[in-house]
Amino acid sequence: MDGFEQNSGVIIIAATNRPDVLDPALMRPGRFDRQVVVDRPDVKGREGILRVHTKNIPLADDVVLETLAKGTPGLAGAELANLVNEAALLAARQNDKAVTMHHFEEAKDKVMMGMERKSLIISEKEKKVTSYHEIGHVLVARMLPEADPVHKVTIIPRGRALGLTTYLPIDEKHTYSKGYLEAMITYALGGRAAERLIFKELTTGAGNDIERATELARKMVCEWGMSDKLGPLTYGARDEEIFLGRQITRNRNYSEDTAISIDEEIKKIVTNGMKRAEKILNENLDTLHRLAAALLEREILEGLEIDAIIRGEQLPPVEKRGNGEAAPGKQPAPAADGRAPKK
């Protein structure tokens, strides 16, 4: 930046994902001396981004960008642009004149959960285990008041997963309560709990869930000071203040005794979650069987359908979906976010 006169009126802007590793000489006054953090967009931001990208696309009347924005937490601008593009492609492939909410829903699943892998051959037994596993997540989450509502559950393989349960936060959260985190750990373990309860055996399918639950428990103890026994302390100082970059190393700054206590606390949180999940499933065994049977038959259950089954209602018969098209006679749900439609 040297060489510009004070009064030349040139402003230089640069972007980085790693401000933590920039040379301090770059950041001196007169150089890059202001920093603006551009975070992932919140719900208002996402709505605005969707509005920009759908400007030149014919939208059907049923498209509510606000609903779509609510259903895409965590997506960045490029991913939202991709979502709009996928929805438009889908509409074009089906020779539709306008992009409908249904196209957006399909595109959203593709962007957020990965491509459907219809060619993957799965044995009936494996499908059944996957159904019970996913319903384990669903049922436990439904019975925990602190947990996010279940948006959709599927046993159509996507990406590397054989089945998936998606949740939809009611509102954007920036901080998490202890109760919410414990609920997250509990429903993450719901899949394994269901497998154990029904099939009396363990599969590798729960590996990811267990990893997530353990990681959350570790953060609760080591970073967020949520353990009564270890108190409000940070264990394991980071190498340096890392601003946006990933955490690379952690220094161990505690004794061997504390290390043992930390491990015990993490274990306690995770096993408590497991016990809670097992208790919920045991108490709702009948609902578990009904939900799993419905999922096995339909391969996808939406939030409203899950609610209906839990209430003991029969779902209207639906033909199996194929080729990413809606089953005939089935209208897309009015509220794409899986909660009761608000009018």
**Please, where are the H alpha helices in the chain?**
43-53, 65-70, 77-93, 101-113, 124-143, 178-188, 190-199, 207-222, 256-283, 285-298, 303-310
In the complex with Zn ion, the residue whose CB is nearer, 140 or 335, is: 140
In the complex with Zn ion, the residue whose CB is nearer, 83 or 161, is: 161
d(CA 287, CA 119): 31
Q: Shortest approach of Zn ion to residue 212 CB, angstroms?
A: 9
Q: Which of 105, 134, 195, 265 is catalytic?
A: 134
In the complex with Zn ion, the residue whose CB is nearer, 107 or 188, is: 188
In the complex with Zn ion, the residue whose CB is nearer, 71 or 191, is: 191
d(CA 255, CA 46): 46
Residue nearest to Zn ion (CB): 191
Which residues lie below 8 Å from residue 113, measured CB to CB, with a gap of 6+? 154, 158, 159, 161, 164, 166
Q: Shortest approach of Zn ion to residue 164 CB, angstroms?
A: 8
Count of Cβ atoms closer than 10 Å to residue 53 Cβ: 18
Q: Shortest approach of Zn ion to residue 173 CB, angstroms?
A: 21
d(CA 164, CA 146): 20
Q: Shortest approach of Zn ion to residue 128 CB, angstroms?
A: 15
Asked whether the beta carbons of 69 and 46 are under 8 A apart, the reply is yes
Question: Which range of residues in 207-215, 291-299, 311-319, 333-341 is near Zn ion by CB under 5 A?
Answer: 207-215
134 is catalytic: yes
d(CA 189, CA 307): 21
In the complex with Zn ion, the residue whose CB is nearer, 217 or 222, is: 217
Q: Does 209 help bind Zn ion (rule: CB under 5 A)?
A: yes
Total number of residues that touch Zn ion (CB under 5 A): 2
Question: Which range of residues in 78-86, 90-98, 209-217, 239-247 is near Zn ion by CB under 5 A?
Answer: 209-217
Q: Which residues pair with 150 in a beta bridge?
A: 167
Q: Shortest approach of Zn ion to residue 206 CB, angstroms?
A: 6
Residues 169-198 that bind Zn ion (CB under 5 A): 191
Chain positions contacting Zn ion, by CB under 5 A: 191, 209
Task: State the catalytic residues.
Answer: 134
